[in-house]
Amino acid sequence: MHNIVWFRSDLRVYDNPALSAAMQSGSVVAVYLLAQNQWHQHSLSPAKRALIVAQIKTLSAQLDKLNVPLKVIAADGFNDFPDILSEQALKLGASRIYCNIEYELNEKRCAQAVSTQLKTVNVELVEFHDSCMIQPGQVRTKQGECYKVYSAFKREFIEQYGRFARPILNRPTQQSATGLASDLTVLEEVAVEHKWLELWPAGEDEAHDRLNTFVEGHIKEYDKKRDIPSIEGTSQISPYLAIGALSTTQCMHAALSLTEGRFDSGRSGVLVWINELIWREFYRHLLDEYPRLSMHKPFKLDTDRLPWKYDQALFNAWAEGRTGYPIVDAAMRQLSQTGWMHNRLRMITAMFLTKHLFIDWRLGEKYFMEQLVDGDLAANNGGWQWSASTGVDAVPYFRIFNPTRQSQRFDPNGDFIRRYLPELAALDSKSIHQPSAQQAKKAGYALPIVDHATAVAQTKLWFKQLSEPT
């Protein structure tokens, strides 16, 4: 008899609560259900698909060392999961299936359906909190409500960290051989473009190397360098967090090892980075609390009365990096070429789509998911609704980034723009932020598709009208 570990977005052997608990309770076999139609429905990018496939292969090698065979099973979508898992449980004589919780609505419903069906065959689904440092629902206001303001959430999170944060776990010890072989043949069905694997190599070791390199180096200057897209001032670990090759618990432990476990003293670079980990946590807790965030609804429901536009030509110009605003276009090309975009640029481009072109934030959210190697519903939705002023603790609608000023401030020499817009490489560091019509024509570069001042005035008016009685 073997129990089962069901791997989901937790593709690692270190610090994996479900794997650890399962292996402490007896002999274990691992399964991963690969549902390409579900990936399609959830707009998973080619870069993220490639990373998952490669990560599963490295995970299997890690599990081999523990004598845990991994079987990858093809499924059409979440609807198939209850049948497949109960069939596997019966085949292996399992009494329990262990998994880590996912907080997205479809994923929660899927686990619920799996649990219900398993009960009919006397098998228990045992679930663990994993991707949050503190279980959602445990950081609450005195009135028992979920925090809607980040700074207040952060204060309480830190207050409760010692009491509620889940412990970090080591790699489980090797079990006796099961006599069963791993089977990864289903992975061959996934079309993988090699370029993504070169940009984002898979593996728990790779994820740890990135984390360690960052923590031993750039983290100290993170507060000063994190907004400059032309340099590697941030950790670039988000793809590994998104697939669970790394946990936020591991990241927080690495950061706190530099501050002697304190949140209130230490180098400001470290403390600012810790803030970002808590932002990630904040959006996950909200996603768990408010199902509508998984259902294409704004947090502020009244913002659905805004007359969002659906202009395909303008949308395409944005997506393809042809807006005539160099910083926006360079950022969108970074996204399509590398599957990743710097955080400052995600804010600039998201705000440009929603506040300058006044295009529905949901179209941008979907497009990002289709492109990002680190696509993550909670963080992506949080970032988009922040930028569109429809979300929790979002930017006030009247504070609209001027892309040219942002460009001058965060890419002063135009180094980042030159990297992704070679057609503008010859321009001096003043005009590169806003080429004249003549310069643009000569370089074969687009003219601005929208006038900043006019667009911003109109957007403010629409938002203002929302708050006026109808």
Q: Which residues are catalytic?
A: 276, 279, 308, 343, 361, 384
Considering the complex, what minimum distance in angstroms separates the CB of residue 158 from ligand FAD? 16
Q: Which residues contact 57 (CB under 8 A, 6 or more apart)?
A: 184, 187, 202
Q: Which two tokens stand for residue 53?
A: 């496939």
Closer by beta carbon to ligand FAD, 101 or else 347: 347
Rg (CA), the chain: 23
- Please tell me the distance from the alpha carbon of residue 331 to that of residue 345, in angstroms, as a whole number: 6
Considering the complex, what minimum distance in angstroms separates the CB of residue 47 from ligand FAD? 12
Annotated ligand binding at 206? The verdict is no
Annotated ligand binding at 318? The verdict is no
Closer by beta carbon to ligand FAD, 380 or else 389: 380
> What string of DSSP letters covers 322-355?
-SS-HHHHHHHHHHHHHS---HHHHHHHHHIIII
> What's the distance, CA 229 to chain centroid?
18
Sign of the alpha-carbon dihedral angle for 32, 50, 346, 389: negative
Annotated ligand binding at 327? The verdict is no
Considering the complex, what minimum distance in angstroms separates the CB of residue 61 from ligand FAD? 25
Q: Which two tokens stand for residue 152?
A: 């207040």
Which residues partner with 75 through β-bridges? 35
354 closest CA partner among 456, 264, 215, 271? 456
Burial tier of 113 (Cβ tally within 10 Å: 0-12, 13-18, 19+): middle
Annotated ligand binding at 273? The verdict is yes
Across the beta sheet with 96-100, the strand order is 70-75, 28-35, 3-7, 96-100, 124-128
Closer by beta carbon to ligand FAD, 111 or else 372: 372
Annotated ligand binding at 359? The verdict is no
Annotated ligand binding at 283? The verdict is yes
Closer by beta carbon to ligand FAD, 362 or else 418: 362
- Give the footprint of ligand FAD on this chain (CB under 6 A): 226, 234-238, 241-242, 276-277, 279-280, 283, 343, 346-347, 350, 368, 372, 374-376, 379-380, 382-384, 387
- Please tell me the distance from the alpha carbon of residue 200 to that of residue 236, in angstroms, as a whole number: 10
Annotated ligand binding at 277? The verdict is yes
- Please tell me the distance from the alpha carbon of residue 122 to that of residue 107, in angstroms, as a whole number: 22
- Please tell me the distance from the alpha carbon of residue 57 to that of residue 157, in angstroms, as a whole number: 36
Annotated ligand binding at 290? The verdict is no
Closer by beta carbon to ligand FAD, 86 or else 247: 247
Considering the complex, what minimum distance in angstroms separates the CB of residue 355 from ligand FAD? 12
List of E strands, 216-357: none
Considering the complex, what minimum distance in angstroms separates the CB of residue 52 from ligand FAD? 14
- Please tell me the distance from the alpha carbon of residue 389 to that of residue 398, in angstroms, as a whole number: 9
Considering the complex, what minimum distance in angstroms separates the CB of residue 16 from ligand FAD? 18
Closer by beta carbon to ligand FAD, 130 or else 376: 376
Instruction: State which residue has the least CB distance to ligand FAD.
Output: 383
Annotated ligand binding at 134? The verdict is no
- Please tell me the distance from the alpha carbon of residue 138 to that of residue 146, in angstroms, as a whole number: 9
Considering the complex, what minimum distance in angstroms separates the CB of residue 283 from ligand FAD? 5
Supply angle C-alpha 299, 303, 308, rounded to 5: 125
Annotated ligand binding at 238? The verdict is yes
Closer by beta carbon to ligand FAD, 96 or else 220: 220
Considering the complex, what minimum distance in angstroms separates the CB of residue 44 from ligand FAD? 11
Closer by beta carbon to ligand FAD, 72 or else 245: 245
Annotated ligand binding at 44? The verdict is no
Q: Which two tokens stand for residue 150?
A: 């980040």
Distances (CA, A) of 181 to 68, 72, 186, 342, 442: 9, 11, 14, 41, 62
- Please tell me the distance from the alpha carbon of residue 284 to that of residue 101, in angstroms, as a whole number: 12
Pairing of strands 3-7, 124-128: unpaired
Helix or strand run (H / E) with residue 7? strand 3-7
Give 175's Cβ-side CA count (13 Å radius): 25
Q: What residues form the annotated binding site for FAD?
A: 222, 234-238, 273, 276-283, 374-376
- The annotated binding site is made up of 222, 234-238, 273, 276-283, 374-376
